[in-house]
Amino acid sequence: MHTFSESNPIPTEVIINIFGELPLPDALHLAATCRRLRQVLNDNTPTIYKRLRKKIPCERYARVLLADQGGLPPYSSSVTIRDLLRLRRNARIVEKAIEVFDRDITPKIRIPLTSIDDEFYGGKPRPLHLLPSERHRFTRSYYQFWSLLLLDRPSRQQRYQRMLLKHLYMVYEMVDLNQPIGDELVSSFADEKRCELAQELTDYLHYLYHDIHGVDYIDFSGHSISMRTRGHAAIWDHCQPDFKKIVCYQWRNPEKKPVKEEEVKLSASLRHIEKIWSGLFPEDTSPVDTQSVRLLANLIPQWSTGDRSEATQLMNDGTLFPDVSEGTARDDLLHRLIHVRGRIVTVQSLTQDTLLWHSCAKALRQLVPKRGTDLRHAIMTQFAGGGMEWPVQVAESVIEYVAVDMRDQRQFHSGRANAAYVQLWCFTIRHIESLTGLKLPARKDLCLRNPHALRQTQREANHRLGLLAKRLGFWSPQVDSLCADADLKPNMKAYLLGRRPKNTYAHPDRWEEKASRKVVDLLKELEERADYQVVTPPLTTEAAPPKRCGLPAFTSHQKDRSSLFLPCIYIDSQSEGENPSSFCILRDMIFTFLGEDMFPAEPHPPGTPHTPIHEDFPMEEQPQLQGVDPVEEGPERQLQGELTPQL
């Protein structure tokens, strides 16, 4: 009888075959029983692993994670026992995550239609645990999300940009997994990293979906679908048909290819990028390398001391632009680098920024006829102008008028039209969620509170957009249509019926009509505010650095939207701090896309604290509010009477 002893040992080939027939945990347990078995596994690990790998769930993604943890590359065959032990440990973590998921999530699935049970679960109720195909999706997504959390920003961007669209949906749902990922500790830093990754994935999903299908991104979150829970939808077997429709966009007319709309003109932004990089390398751009561009992307060394220190360190240690070797040349390059005005924009960051501009352009399209693709040209042709003053919106319900001394009437008209055009974009940014239905990336707890229910409806936002366009000097049949009285009664009626449905409550005769009319009458009692105060948010902060491009986060947008008016945006500030604020990033995005020179020679529009007040401006010609009483003048609210640009 063969034994593992030295006197009559089992042949090594047989032991290798035995190891190859076992799952990975059993193979490691067997190797731990005696020295010879451990030696056989150690000497023949690559050979044994070729057979073991077939029994490792999602082995391909497990190997990628192993490489991200410092192991061998995924394609390497030189596997060691240490690698096998790490693979087993990672698999245990995933198994425990599935156990928690099956305890907290899976049993709470409620499927209202028996036909779904008949089709997917053999006529029986849905099992209280993940099915094999669902376990596979969970395991793969868990490994992918875990890997992304281990990588730095440039590396993880490269990683998720190579993922399939359906995998991105599932990885994004892992953000809502209410448990630590891998070795992740419960801490504020871990939460911040998750939120940062969630925002990046949201931005890229919006971009990728539109790039593939030519339509806006379609969400597949379990928050809004009755048969799924807690943000997990793409994992379930019974959701796969709907999931496939969304990923493949099966509503598209097969006879018609997706049309790429040219609503957002990027020529000005591309010129801005060219200006930045040609300024850094005025004579020869050959020393520019991909790694340096990626490291400098979206830094603001002019204002951020943290960004300036980072750029200086990277230049001093030779990481940036290694082909520039001469000491004097590197010093000059560093000097130009830290004096770049605003963000160091790249094509990749511009691509992310278009996620915001495309959604805003969709809202502005309502102001002009549908024909044509050049949005700026379509809007500008509707500008009627009128008067010798520029209208400047300083608050949601207040427009001030500024006298501008320009002898060239053509330049005056062009400047006024451009200022009005920029203000329309600012309005759409402030109300982007109401106008487009877009949900800005937010933390899970904010999503569960559903803050979107507290904002104005799309109909109300469109009405206010039409009114603003008309007061700024634009006219078209579409503007007139939006300016028509926005009847709130249908919205109130829908709201009341949603809170008190007829199948649950006994309604008196015409109750919803009378109740909605009462609510509308109460709303009409309120008057729009006529007071305002120009308060410019700080451009720098000592807090953690914000998101540098793409869609703004929900919390920062709520904080900054009240300052997205010309007096706060077009102000010349040289303040410095550790990191740029979220308002600074959004302001720079506006400059990149819409231009930085709003007023030809006077950088401070009306109401900014740095604007000098002209004492010789006749009191009777002081600009008045439109439709409201004049605002009491104060040190921060007094309107500049005259702008005198030197043309």
The per-residue pLDDT for range 295-304, each reduced to its tens digit, is 999 999 988 8
Q: Locate all alpha helices (DSSP H) within 232-346, ordered by sequence.
A: 240-248, 267-280, 290-296, 305-316, 327-337
Instruction: Name the residue with higher pLDDT: 464 or 255.
Output: 464
Q: How far apart are the first and last CA of the chain?
A: 104
Q: pTM, whole model, 2 decimals? A: 0.55
Closest CA to 79 of 114, 116, 42, 105: 42
Give me the sign of the Cα torsion angle 211, 213, 218, 222. negative
The residue behind tokens 């700080």 is 538
Tokens of 57: 């769930």
In which band, very low, low, confident or very high, does the pLDDT at 91 lie, cut at 50, 70 and 90? very high
The residue behind tokens 């945006």 is 569
Q: For residue 472, give the amino acid letter.
A: L
Question: What element of type H or E holds 642?
Answer: strand 642-643
50 touches 21 (CB < 8 A): no
CA angle, residues 144, 150, 154, in degrees to nearest 5:
95
CA distance 422 to 615: 29
Helix (H, G, I), strand (E, B) or coil at 393: strand
Give me the pLDDT at residue 171, please: 92
Instruction: Name the residue with higher pLDDT: 241 or 228.
Output: 241
Give me the pLDDT at residue 453, please: 53
Say how many C-beta atoms besides its own lie within 10 A of residue 87's C-beta.
24
348-357, 479-488, 618-627: which has the highest mean pLDDT? 348-357
Question: What element of type H or E holds 554?
Answer: helix 554-560
CA separation, residue 42 to residues 30, 121, 259, 590 (Å): 13, 44, 58, 60
In which band, very low, low, confident or very high, does the pLDDT at 406 lie, cut at 50, 70 and 90? low
- 1-5, 47-51, 434-438, 456-460: segment of lowest average pLDDT: 1-5
Closest CA to 273 of 293, 287, 243, 250: 293
Closest CA to 302 of 576, 542, 573, 543: 576
Closest CA to 377 of 359, 364, 392, 360: 364
Give me the pLDDT at residue 640, please: 33
Q: Say whether pLDDT at 620 is over 70.
A: no
Say how many C-beta atoms besides its own lie within 10 A of residue 279's C-beta.
13
Question: What element of type H or E holds 194?
Answer: helix 188-213
Long-range contacts of range 304-313, CB-CB < 8 Å, 24 or more positions apart? Answer: 304/540, 304/545, 304/576, 304/577, 304/578, 304/579, 304/580, 305/576, 305/577, 305/578, 306/545, 306/578, 306/579, 307/579, 307/580, 308/338, 311/337, 311/338, 312/338
The per-residue pLDDT for range 356-374, each reduced to its tens digit, is 999 899 999 999 887 656 7
Tokens of 32: 């731990």
DSSP per-residue string spanning 451-469: GGGGSPPHHHHHHHHHHHH
Give me the sign of the Cα torsion angle 144, 149, 151, 154. positive
CA distance 324 to 340: 19
609 touches 639 (CB < 8 A): no
Instruction: Name the residue with higher pLDDT: 588 or 613.
Output: 588
